Structure 1
Amino acid sequence: MNPAQSPETQTAELNPAREDFASLLEESFSETEPQEGSVVKGTVVAIEKDLAVIDVGLKTEGRVPLKEFSVAGQEPDINVGDEVEVYLERIENALGEAVLSREKARREESWAKLEKSFEKGEKVEGVIFNRVKGGFTVDLNGAVAFLPGSQVDIRPVRDASNLMNTPQPFQILKMDRRRGNIVVSRRAVLEETRAEQRSEIFANLAEGQVVEGIVKNITDYGAFIDLGGIDGLLHVTDMAWRRVNHPSEIVNVGDTVKVQIIRINPETQRISLGMKQLQADPWEGIEAKYPVGAKFTGRVTNITDYGAFVELEPGVEGLIHVSEMSWVKKNVHPGKILSTSEEVEVQVLEVDPNKRRISLGLKQTQENPWEAFAASHPKGTEIEGTVRNITEFGLFVGLEGGIDGMVHLSDLDWNKPGEEAIKEYKKGDTVRAVVLETDPEKERISLGIKQVSGDPFEGLSGLKKGSTVTCEVEEVKDSGLQVRLADTDISTFIRRADLSRDRSEQRPERFAPGDKIDAAVTQIDRSNRKISLSIKALEIAEEKKAVEQFGSTDSGASLGEILGAALNKAQGEESDTKTDGGKK
């Protein structure tokens, strides 16, 4: 106490104010009392059922579930008196107890360590404890990380139960403390370890070497064989010389198999394996075993859009192309002709030992219906059949043996154009036709319908240019007359200019359908089956003949008089013939 001070001042120092005591007390507590939101140390004072009672130096204890003291998949290891670190969330709750968390304490501690490991690229240890959408959750000593399904193993894992609740190393791929996200990979660790093992094992392997391995995985295209730390692919085509539809026909997961190393790729460290290479090649001497033209019995192993494969012996298959399956069934899927596992007789068509291919024929073991038809129906034979199809170029007529013959448009009718004649037919009609030509090699049969009635031009063999014929008018047109030769089915056309010598009489309307008229033949084209007629030419020919018989018109007689005289003479000769009983 300072003697120089006044009594009032000395009294104030000896008796501090109540407010000063309160601030000093608060300062004292703040220096020793734990703060909310921090990790503090505490002592386990009791264990009640599934809770641990922990004293962290506050007015009251806090309770923490025992499960927060355990590592995933293990029992909690905690006893009364143990000193533990916990996270103080609240100093006092509604029950007057401290709110503590061991998980958050571990998480805070773990995050700090994980961040250091992530920066250094070090591996961390964790436990897979739960499956979630897209992968798994991993306990990294308090911090929860996500393990994507693609990062579990080097190859897809169907059953991960054996990986659960087992401490194992992981590689941290990504961390975001603000969001609380950690992504880890088990695959990265395995690949690193595997790379080291592969390099060592790879150096001791060589192409052609025979080794043993264990079937690790099976896919649709082959099996992966574990050769003691490095995998090789046994492709389905190298499992057996015969066709293998699925690898499971030959091997199962876990089988110990003997294989030969076919290829080694040093760059990718990929190894191709084979089993069939340890067996004799059935294709050796194949040409002698299956000569061209020989017939064998085999089993259908596979059917495709382009044909069917037939096994002649284990490891040797031949292809029946769809074109060699049937003589008559064209554009039909092979599955409608053959079925898988069916026993069939085939003929060898071609053998290529270099490409390991054998071409087989099925139809060659059956009678060729085209050759059979040609033998029993020579050219000129008349047949009967049903119209199966009508096309723009003719009719297809069904014949014996399931084959078709074609009637071309030009062979439908002697007189009508083919485009017009074909309109008279429809599918299902029964028709008679004549065999015109058969070509078994090209599988073609030409038929003719018009040939059944015979060629009407053959009846005109005595007809020549200048002959006079009688016709019947069929149709009157502005350009002339459509006429048909009497007693025949031959039609032709007389042009307007050929209707008369006299221009004023060249009128088609002078005639009517059904009229009988005479005309002269001006041209016969037997190759093109055409005949040309002219009334005008006939009049000129008759005039010339009259002039030759009765003299020139220079005598003063008119043409009408000459023709009249010729007509009278002709009538007189006819009368004399009748009087003499037909004799002159």
Structure 2
Amino acid sequence: MAVQTVTKEDFESLLLDSFLENEPLEGTVVKGTVVAIEKDLAIIDVGLKTEGRIALKEFGQAGRDGTIKVGSVVEVYVDRVENAVGEAVLSREKARREESWVKLEEMYNANQRVEGIIFNQVKGGFTVDLEGAVAFLPRSQVDIRPIRDIGPLMNVPQPFQILKMDKRRGNIVVSRRAILEESRAEQRSEIVQQLEEGQVVDGVVKNITDYGAFVDLGGIDGLLHVTDIAWLRVNHPSEVLAIGETIKVQIVRINHESHRISLGMKQLLADPWEGIEAKYPVGAKFTGRVTNITDYGAFVELEPGIEGLIHV
């Protein structure tokens, strides 16, 4: 049986290969074991010639539980195998960031929600911790309506929608508003499904404009047009309605695609024009009240809701 001779050069090469195979490469995430805790530092063994030190604060950020103890196995990022004092340079924060980026990219491509924690205020918005990766939340994307006090939203896990990701620049932009709008759209859809044309419901006047009033039907708004408020002439909705007033309305029309609802009040009253020919026959004489004067004539009210024109 032939015996293979190993030279000194071969032995050095094999030994070097062994070190390279077992030695974590710089810029990678590896598992390490906590071998000691000294004051505010954790001593981590990742299989190198020397251990590395990581500040305990890196294991607990933005309100998350970061308690560790001797013997805990943690994933860390190898920044450098050995620094000037012969220690491995490790980072838990960078490891969490690397882990998060892979997961977040998958969720972003699948258009899925992510969970994060608002933990700081910066110029133009806020910073959000997405399990290690730090994202920017523009102030306009916090809520559907501007909010004065964001305190109750700080340090609380909640869902966000990723609007943009750029790993090369390390930028992530998220939105809380998109989640709220999606939830509101779902609620609006459920409410619309329960409503029917011709149904009579109670609503609260939410806003008044020149062309009508918006009425809250319990989570969704309907438009009460000025021409559908009463049979008589209404110059402005504020003549009849007040914000905060509860009124009874009929659902005149529903657009299930746009979730737009048209409402009416006069539909709940008898139409004064029914049987008008018999009540006011042609050639008969009646007394009326002048309600409006124009260049081409005058409008005269015979009874509420019934007007005629005396041409100039």
- TM-score class, shorter-chain normalisation, is 0.5 to 0.7
Match of 1:23 in 2: 13
Q: 1:154 to 1:224 in 2, by over 3 A?
A: farther
Q: CA deviation at 1:208?
A: 6.8
Residue 101 of structure 2: SS of its match in structure 1? helix
Where do residues 75-90 of structure 1 align in structure 2 (5 Å cutoff)?
75-90=65-80
Contact 1:260 1:273 in 2 (8 A): no
Contact 2:222 2:263 in 1 (8 A): yes
Where do residues 181-196 of structure 1 align in structure 2 (5 Å cutoff)?
181-196=171-186
Equivalent residue in structure 2 for 1:60, among 30, 39, 50: 50
Greater gyration radius: 1
Match of 1:503 in 2: none
Match of 1:162 in 2: 152
Letter paired with 2:200: Q
Separation in structure 2 between the aligned mates of residue 168 and residue 185 of structure 1, nearest angstrom: 11
Residue 166 of structure 1: SS of its match in structure 2? coil
The answer to whether the aligner puts 1:258 opposite 2:249 as a matched pair is: no
Q: CA deviation at 1:261?
A: 4.2
Q: CA deviation at 1:84?
A: 0.7
Match of 2:286 in 1: none
Contact 2:208 2:238 in 1 (8 A): no
Q: CA deviation at 1:196?
A: 2.2
Letter paired with 1:133: K
Match of 1:94 in 2: 84
Where do residues 218-233 of structure 1 align in structure 2 (5 Å cutoff)?
227-231=217-221
Contact 1:213 1:227 in 2 (8 A): yes
Provide, for residues 66-119 of structure 1, a one-character-per-residue CA deviation record: whole Å limited to 9, x for no partner: 232225233423222111101010122233322111121111111111222222
The answer to whether the aligner puts 1:211 opposite 2:222 as a matched pair is: no
Equivalent residue in structure 1 for 2:115, among 108, 113, 125: 125
Provide, for residues 147-182 of structure 1, a one-character-per-residue CA deviation record: whole Å limited to 9, x for no partner: 233333333334333322222222222222222222
Q: Where do 5+ consecutive residues of structure 1 fail to align?
A: 4-9, 245-249, 252-256, 279-290, 293-317, 319-349, 357-584
Residue 179 of structure 1: SS of its match in structure 2? coil
From the two aligned structures, give the one with the greater helix fraction: 1
Q: CA RMSD in A?
A: 4.2
Q: Where do 5+ consecutive residues of structure 2 fail to align?
A: 226-235, 269-288, 292-298, 308-312
Separation in structure 1 between the aligned mates of residue 205 and residue 34 of structure 2, nearest angstrom: 53
Match of 1:241 in 2: 240
Q: CA deviation at 1:185?
A: 2.4
Q: 1:26 to 1:173 in 2, by over 3 A?
A: same
Separation in structure 2 between the aligned mates of residue 50 and residue 219 of structure 1, nearest angstrom: 61
Residue 194 of structure 2: SS of its match in structure 1? coil
- The percentage of counterpart residues that share the same residue type is 64
Contact 2:116 2:160 in 1 (8 A): yes
Q: CA deviation at 1:42?
A: 0.5
Contact 2:115 2:159 in 1 (8 A): yes
Q: CA deviation at 1:32?
A: 0.9
- TM-score normalised by structure 2 residue count: 0.68
Q: How many residue pairs get matched? A: 268
Q: 1:223 to 1:59 in 2, by over 3 A?
A: farther
